[in-house]
């Protein structure tokens, strides 16, 4: 193994540059280092002006998502040893406005996430005295996979549809909507389906599947979207056959 590795980092300082540039740093190679460790070494020892997001360093918060050699990754879970002796290139996630260096603006996603109402919706709440809304282990397993999303935005950066059609609600928001649709305590599925059946919803997806490939938590947003399409198509057919409608 080499003693050092070349780390090329995208730089964008709006007060100095009109376009992003790249800067290469020679950093020590350590087998147990992840890319986030290398970025912290640069900031602590070589260049304190470098800007990037991170928080937990445990693959839970989702804030350290960046592109590593062209692929969206959580930098806290991406080891240098997977790339050396080749150079390592770190860039901000695609399709989001760059605020500074490796920091992107996630306002668009936050707006879309709120739009799909990712919370339990009840038509009528029972009195607290009647106790909790209990679930069996099987009911939990139904939606547990989709509940693992950490909003890291890797799926959006990998999604060519979001790149071509920024109005697309996107994989993570749809997967989280499906998480609540499948929750036995929720009664908001029809409300969400109405939102996601619009032009910028589920039908924009062409099932490329890259969102699922890059998901660090194996959420399978592509699968969630296909489930949603099946539900939407089934309801549409029912509305034709039963014009006075069943739910």
* pLDDT tens-digit readout, 153-209: 999 999 999 999 999 999 999 999 999 999 999 999 999 999 999 999 999 999 999
Grouping H, G, I as helix, E, B as strand and the rest as coil, residue 89 is: strand
Return the CATH number of 4-104, one of 3.20.20.105, 3.40.50.300, 3.40.50.2300, 3.10.20.30: 3.10.20.30
- CATH number for the domain running over 107-241: 1.10.1060.10
Side-chain-side CA neighbours of residue 112 (13 Å): 23
Hey, do 4-104 and 107-241 end up sharing a CATH topology, with the first three levels equal? no
Hey, how many other C-beta atoms are within 10 angstroms of the C-beta on 167? 12
Residue 236 confidence class, pLDDT cut points 50, 70, 90: confident
* pLDDT tens-digit readout, 33-72: 999 999 999 999 999 999 999 999 999 999 999 999 999 9
Q: Tell me whether strands 65-68 and 4-11 are parallel, antiparallel or unpaired.
A: unpaired
Joined tokens for residue 5: 């590795």
pLDDT of residue 211 exceeding 70? yes
């Amino acid at each position: 193994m080499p003693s050092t590795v070349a780390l090329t980092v995208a730089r964008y300082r709006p007060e100095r540059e009109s376009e992003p540039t790249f800067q290469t740093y020679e950093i020590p190679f350590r087998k147990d280092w992840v890319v986030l460790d290398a970025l912290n070494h640069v900031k602590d020892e070589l260049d304190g002006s470098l800007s990037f997001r991170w928080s937990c360093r445990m693959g839970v918060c989702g804030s350290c998502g960046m592109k590593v050699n062209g692929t969206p990754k959580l930098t806290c879970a991406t080891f240098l040893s997977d790339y050396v002796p080749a150079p390592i290139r770190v860039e901000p996630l695609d399709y989001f406005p760059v605020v500074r260096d490796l920091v992107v603006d996630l306002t668009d996603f936050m707006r879309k996430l709120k739009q799909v109402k990712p919370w339990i919706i009840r038509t009528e709440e029972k009195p607290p005295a009647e106790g909790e809304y209990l679930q069996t282990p099987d009911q939990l397993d139904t939606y547990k996979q989709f509940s693992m999303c950490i909003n890291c935005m890797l799926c959006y950066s990998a999604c060519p549809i979001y790149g071509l059609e920024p109005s697309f609600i996107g994989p993570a928001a749809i997967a989280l909507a499906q998480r609540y649709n499948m929750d036995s305590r929720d009664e908001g599925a029809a409300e969400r389906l109405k939102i996601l059946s619009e032009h910028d919803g589920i039908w924009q997806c062409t099932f490329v599947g890259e969102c699922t490939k890059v998901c660090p938590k194996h959420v399978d947003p592509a699968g969630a979207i296909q489930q949603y399409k099946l539900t939407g198509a089934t309801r549409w057919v029912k509305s034709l056959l039963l014009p006075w409608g069943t739910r």
